Structure 1
Amino acid sequence: MIKSTIKYSILCGVFLIGLFFISINFGSNPLLDMRHFFFDLGVFFLFIYFSGKEFKDYRNDGYFHFWQGISIGFIVMIPAVLIFSTVFYFVFEANPELLEAYKEGAKAMLIEKKDLYLEKFSEGQYQQQLAAVDEETTARLLISTFWKKIIAGFLITPVVGIILRKKPK
């Protein structure tokens, strides 16, 4: 099962990296835009689905259990996120302008949505949030991005397992 899914994992990691940098080049900040979470869901769905489909059709005689879907999902997702995170870290360390662009975008978003933020929180909390943006580091940003992608993968993996599931009669 591992050999047949590892190529999908590598491709998924490369695709996540490409999607990230294409988004930056088109002026979108994938670290701030919630739509990118849904792109991650779609990317994970595609790669986990096709990995599971290949395993089901060519290695398991057309049968597929839910636990196999979960296993394949983790085998695809975790290395893909590790590949993405490694490249992310080295690119952000090599280009401090990317971290500064993130900080500027985060501040702009907070300022733009100040009224909404103040409805739910106090002025002091708002000021703390603005100060926290200035203290952001590549490592903290990496950890946040890593967990967002892991959560996206965890959400989509059971769905694929259910879709592909077929038990012997």
Structure 2
Amino acid sequence: MYKYFSTAYKFGGFAGALSILSFISLSFLYPDPTNLNLVFGYVITPIAIFLAIKFFKDYSNEGYLSFSEGMSVGFVAYMLEAIISLGGIWVILIIHPDLFEQVKESKLDVLATNKGSIVAQVGESSFDLTLESIRNMVPWDIALNDALWKIIPGLFFTIIISIILRKNPN
């Protein structure tokens, strides 16, 4: 079992750590680091998945890769990245409640600034529901959102990369 996941653990863990480092760095530069951290996740997730699957294929599996092996390795990589990122961001927001309040205020400001266009698109009741959910937001919500936006694209990228790198023995 270790053979299948040794590279996935390394690259998924490294990507998760980079995601936390990105969140910390962006929090010094922007009042709401969450959106840019998601963009960073869209870049680092496919790179981590690709490297995990490629290293598994080349160094652990003698140059061969089935689709299911690629999917398994990719799954471990993006899930580990998401779990590490979730835990790190949640702890950061718990330790620094002022950062959490700053993120929350930024989201409320964006909502207030764009109220007219949002109401025109989705209606007053949806706007009010969104406003209430942001007011009731807790640090866990921000961390979970970040993790989910690593898992969803991670699945997509894993499928594509597993198909591209697939090579079965003749």
Q: Which TM bucket (shorter chain)?
A: 0.7 to 0.9
Shift of 1:36: 4.3
Name which of 8, 19, 22 aligns with 1:19.
Answer: 22
Aligned to 1:52: 53
Q: Is the 8 A contact 1:5 1:51 kept in 2?
A: yes
Q: Is the 8 A contact 1:37 1:152 kept in 2?
A: no
**Structural mapping, 1:1-169, within 5 Å:** 1-27=4-30, 29-31=32-34, 33=35, 36-169=37-170
Where do 5+ consecutive residues of structure 1 fail to align?
none
TM-score by length of 1: 0.88
Shift of 1:122: 2.7
Shift of 1:79: 1.6
TM-score by length of 2: 0.88
Shift of 1:28: 6.0
Shift of 1:38: 3.9
Q: Is the 8 A contact 2:89 2:143 kept in 1?
A: yes
Where do 5+ consecutive residues of structure 2 fail to align?
none
Output the CA distance in 2 between the equivalents of 1:45 and 1:38.
12
Query: Greater CA deviation, 140-149 or 78-87?
Result: 140-149
- CA change 1:59–1:11 in 2 (3 A) is same
Q: Which amino acid aligns with 1:7?
A: K
CA displacement, residues 3-54 of structure 1 (integer Å, 9 cap, x when unaligned): 23211121111111112222222216342x3x54343122111111111111
CA displacement, residues 109-164 of structure 1 (integer Å, 9 cap, x when unaligned): 11222222011233343233223222111122232222222112122111111221
| Aligned pairs, number | 167
CA RMSD in angstroms comes to 1.8
- CA change 1:163–1:109 in 2 (3 A) is same
- CA change 1:128–1:6 in 2 (3 A) is closer
